[in-house]
Amino acid sequence: MSERLQKALARLGYGSRRMLEREIEQGRVQIGHKVAKLGDKVDEGDTVVYRSKRIKISSDSQQSTRIILYFKPDGEVCTRRDEKNRKTVFDNLPNVGKEGRWINIGRLDLNTSGALLFTNNG
């Protein structure tokens, strides 16, 4: 089953779909030996080159879904990168490895503490 290139790369943990769309538009992604364009689809087994790295597209069924519960203390930001270099909730999460990247389910304010859920399956 084919899926859009940016969705497959996002599922594998290479960035957000919007960020990957910009990378594709700028000609930084290849499918096989051809420069990819926005809207291209990939199938399981296709080889993609992104940031000089060869990526073998795998199916969604090979990814095991992980969910974690995290207690967010005051002072951590619910974002991946903070322009003010504040500590983020992602700084303390375990490495998800080859299973993609952590995606937060919900958000809390900077000065709020509480439970947050994270998953590797959007």
- Catalytic, out of 43, 74, 91, 109: 109
- Look up 109 and say whether it is catalytic: yes
Measured between alpha carbons, how far is residue 45 from residues 8, 58, 108 in Å?
12, 6, 39
Active site positions, annotated: 109
